[in-house]
């Protein structure tokens, strides 16, 4: 119930903040340009990639996720509404969950908008819809996980710029872990690296049309753990006032 | 004797080595307006923040409406309406959306009706659909009251509610506090002594985190001399403390 109330406030916030629209526009512009390029190539050399947009986003979220979440707690701190939230008869985790669902819903909306590209593709060729769907489900979960990483840093610092920067660094390291994993010739080391990275659970499965329960569980687990950590950070901030 | 709604026992808060609230104990009953008085940095806000469940005490404890603020925090918080020193607002919400939000978050079933009722109570009905960013300071203060009252709590904790508003509105706030104090327990902080004198049934004088005097304003005055203002009482007490420190 608390989460639902916070969720509604959060989604209203996303839909009325110009900055959220700027990020939305950036996402659509970036994916649109790359989709257009891929489409042009597809006429001559190779077939269009049904997992193209999710693939782009799997890198782009390194930057977009922290931008979407940076103001989440910083603004409440600045306006002092955090003090009211934390003295209301509600649990931190419910607040955190509501805020996450708001951000995730906004991300979902952006994903649905990129569905236009699939419709265009569909009208031109016959793309592998199963592959596309798998990639979209993957990026939806992956995106949720990156948002929770962003939230941890938003809760850690009152400074939005710092929150965004640290979130990007963390996500970039996780992304690099996956890239590093691809370089290792030793298969065991490679697997360890890619298992630790967020992206490895997307790029090696969902992105190539493979839906594995363990990857779904991995993202669900990351989301749960990060939300829990965020709630703990809020709780611990009471000690500093 | 009626049950105490606020029961504070040796409440203490340390920030590192600095002790902000030092073994404070007092009781407040229903229908009582208690003034928390003290200069800047006396520990008023910190005391209130512990009572509202925002800050955990370093030592000691308190009960709100019989619920322990640490062990039974959610129930304690349910019984408190809190107006922080600087009214916390969401600038992009309208008056109505804002009060409705807090009504729902505090579990009010008929949230919309409750929100409209308290908005009327604080005379903001005409501004119901105004964005909070466009409200004057006095109106924001009233909005803060609406938020604190929306769940009809038996205990009200008001941190310097008259700061930064014009004299006419100060009088309005005092009247409101006295009115609310007829049925509720009100803890009200200020560093303006005459204000406490006019509004409170009882005052607690805090200095450097400790209670240096408490009682009815008239009693405190009598202790010094009959025609003393609370101002003078306060200065003499604080002055004596300073002397003792040396
Ligand atoms: N979060 C904090 N960290 C460290 N010290 C703090 C913190 N909050 C308050 N203090 C210190 O505790 C003491 C009491 O502060 P408090 O804000 O409770 O005083 P106050 O009576 O409300 O003063 P004012 O009239 O200025 O509002 C001060 O010395 C203050 O510097
Ligand atoms: Mg204060």
Chain A residues with CB-CB distance to B53 below 8 A: 86-87
Query: Is B66 contained in some domain?
Result: yes
Q: Are A54 and A29 in contact (CB under 8 A)?
A: no
Chain A residues with CB-CB distance to B52 below 8 A: 87
The separation between the first and the last C-alpha atoms of chain B, rounded to the nearest angstrom, is 42
Question: Distance between CA A151 and CA A224 in Å, rounded?
Answer: 12
**Residue ranges making up the domain that contains B47:** 1-79+192-246
Give the DSSP H/E element, type plus range, for residue A153. Answer: helix A129-156
Tokens 């809190």 sit on residue: B82
Give me the pLDDT at residue B246, please: 39
Give me the pLDDT at residue A54, please: 84
Yes or no, beta carbons of A79 and B90 under 8 Å apart: yes
The alpha carbon of residue A171 is apart from the nearest alpha carbon of chain B, in Å, by 30
Q: Rounded to two decimals, what is the model's pTM?
A: 0.89
Other CB atoms within a 10 A radius of the CB of residue A77 amount to: 16
Q: What is the pLDDT of residues A210-228, one digit of tens each?
A: 778 888 888 899 999 999 9
Å from CA of B43 to ligand 1 middle = 6
Chain B residues with CB-CB distance to A2 below 8 A: 105
Yes or no, beta carbons of B15 and A241 under 8 Å apart: yes
Yes or no, beta carbons of A2 and B105 under 8 Å apart: yes
Query: Is B123 contained in some domain?
Result: no
Residues with CB under 6 A from ligand 1: A 240-241; B 15, 18, 20, 38, 40-46, 85, 191
Query: Is B50 contained in some domain?
Result: yes
What residues pair up with B36 in beta bridges, in sequence order?
B189, B204
Query: Is B227 contained in some domain?
Result: yes
Tokens of B70: 């640490």
Question: Distance between CA A63 and CA A67 in Å, rounded?
Answer: 7
Q: Judge whether A18 is closer than 8 Å to chain B, CB to CB.
A: no
Q: Which of B90, B100, B109 to probe by mutation at the A interface, max A CB count within 10 Å? A: B90
Query: Is B124 contained in some domain?
Result: no
Q: Are A152 and A143 in contact (CB under 8 A)?
A: no
What residues pair up with B81 in beta bridges, in sequence order?
B156
CATH of the domain at B196: 3.40.50.300
* Number of domains, chain B: 1
Q: Are B155 and B81 in contact (CB under 8 A)?
A: yes
Q: Which of A17, A80, A84 to probe by mutation at the B interface, max B CB count within 10 Å? A: A84
Yes or no, beta carbons of A83 and B55 under 8 Å apart: no
pLDDT under 50: residue ranges of chain A = 241
Q: Are B49 and B202 in contact (CB under 8 A)?
A: no
Spell out the per-residue pLDDT of chain B, length 246, in tens. 567 899 999 999 999 899 999 999 999 999 999 999 988 889 999 999 999 999 999 999 999 999 999 999 999 999 999 999 999 999 999 999 999 999 999 999 899 999 999 999 999 999 999 999 999 988 999 999 999 999 999 999 999 998 888 888 888 888 889 999 999 999 999 888 778 888 899 999 998 899 988 888 877 777 666 666 666 767 777 666 555 443
Å from CA of A112 to ligand 2 middle = 48
DSSP assigned state of A69: H
Å from CA of B190 to ligand 1 middle = 14
Q: What is the pLDDT of residues A68-113, one digit of tens each?
A: 999 999 889 888 999 999 999 999 999 999 999 999 999 999 999 9
Query: Is B14 contained in some domain?
Result: yes
The alpha carbon of residue B132 is apart from the nearest alpha carbon of chain A, in Å, by 12
3-state secondary structure of A158: coil
Share the mean pLDDT of chain A. Answer: 86
Residue whose CB lies within 8 A of the most ligand 1 atoms, among B17, B22, B44, for a mutation test: B44
Q: Which atom of ligand 1 is nearest to the CA of A240?
A: 1
The ipTM (two decimal places) reads 0.89
DSSP chain B: -PPPSEEEEEEEEEETTEEEEEEEEEEE-TT-EEEEE-STTSSHHHHHHHHTTSS--SEEEEEETTEETTTTHHHHHHTEEEE-SS----TTSBHHHHHHHHHHHTT-TTHHHHHHHHHHHTT-GGGTTSBGGGS-HHHHHHHHHHHHHTT--SEEEEESTTTTS-HHHHHHHHHHHHHHTTTSEEEEEES-HHHHHHH-SEEEEEETTEEEEEE-HHHHHHHH-TT--HHHHHHHHHHHHHHHH-
């Amino acid at each position: 119930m608390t989460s639902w109330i916070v969720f509604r406030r959060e989604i209203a916030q996303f839909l009325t903040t110009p900055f959220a629209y700027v990020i939305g526009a950036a996402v659509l512009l970036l994916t649109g340009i790359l989709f257009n390029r891929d489409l042009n190539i597809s006429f001559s050399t190779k077939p269009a990639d049904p997992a193209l947009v999710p693939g782009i986003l799997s890198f782009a979220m390194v930057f977009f996720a922290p931008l979407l979440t940076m103001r989440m707690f910083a603004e409440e701190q600045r306006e002092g509404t955090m003090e009211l939230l934390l003295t209301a008869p509600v649990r931190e985790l419910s607040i955190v969950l509501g805020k996450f669902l708001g951000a995730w819903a906004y991300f979902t909306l952006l994903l649905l908008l990129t569905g236009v590209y699939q419709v265009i593709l569909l009208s031109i060729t016959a793309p592998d819809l199963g592959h596309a769907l798998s990639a979209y489900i993957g990026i939806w979960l992956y995106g949720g996980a990156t948002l929770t990483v962003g939230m941890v840093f938003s809760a850690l610092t009152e400074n939005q710029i710092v929150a965004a920067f640290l979130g990007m660094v963390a996500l970039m390291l996780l992304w690099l872990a996956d890239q590093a994993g691809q370089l290792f010739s030793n298969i065991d080391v490679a697997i360890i690296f890619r298992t630790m990275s967020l992206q490895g659970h997307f790029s090696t499965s969902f992105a190539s049309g493979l839906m594995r329960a363990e990857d779904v569980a991995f993202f669900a687990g990351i989301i749960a753990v990060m939300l829990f950590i965020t709630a703990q950070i809020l709780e611990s901030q009471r000690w500093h006032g | 004797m009626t049950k105490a709604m606020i029961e504070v026992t040796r409440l203490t808060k340390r920030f590192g080595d600095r002790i902000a609230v030092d073994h404070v104990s007092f009781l407040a009953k229903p229908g009582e307006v208690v003034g928390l008085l003290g200069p800047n940095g006396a520990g008023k806000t910190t005391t209130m923040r512990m009572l509202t469940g925002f800050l955990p005490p370093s030592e000691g404890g308190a009960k709100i409406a019989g619920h322990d603020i640490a062990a039974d925090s959610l129930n304690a918080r349910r019984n408190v309406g809190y107006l922080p020193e600087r009214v916390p607002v969401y600038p992009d919400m309208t008056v109505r959306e804002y009060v409705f939000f807090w009504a729902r978050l505090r579990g009010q079933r008929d949230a919309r009706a409750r929100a409209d009722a308290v908005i009327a109570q604080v005379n903001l009905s005409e501004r119901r659909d105004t964005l909070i960013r466009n409200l004057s300071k006095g109106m924001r203060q009233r909005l803060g009251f609406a938020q604190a009252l929306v769940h009809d709590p038996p205990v009200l904790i008001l941190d310097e509610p008259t700061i930064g508003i014009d004299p006419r509105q100060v009088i309005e706030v005092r009247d409101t506090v006295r009115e609310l104090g007829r049925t509720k327990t009100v803890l009200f902080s200020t560093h303006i002594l005459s204000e406490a004198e006019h509004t409170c049934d009882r005052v607690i004088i805090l200095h450097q985190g400790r209670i240096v005097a408490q009682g009815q304003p008239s009693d405190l005055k009598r202790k010094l001399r009959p025609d003393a203002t609370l101002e003078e009482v306060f200065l003499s007490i604080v002055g004596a403390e300073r002397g003792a420190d040396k």
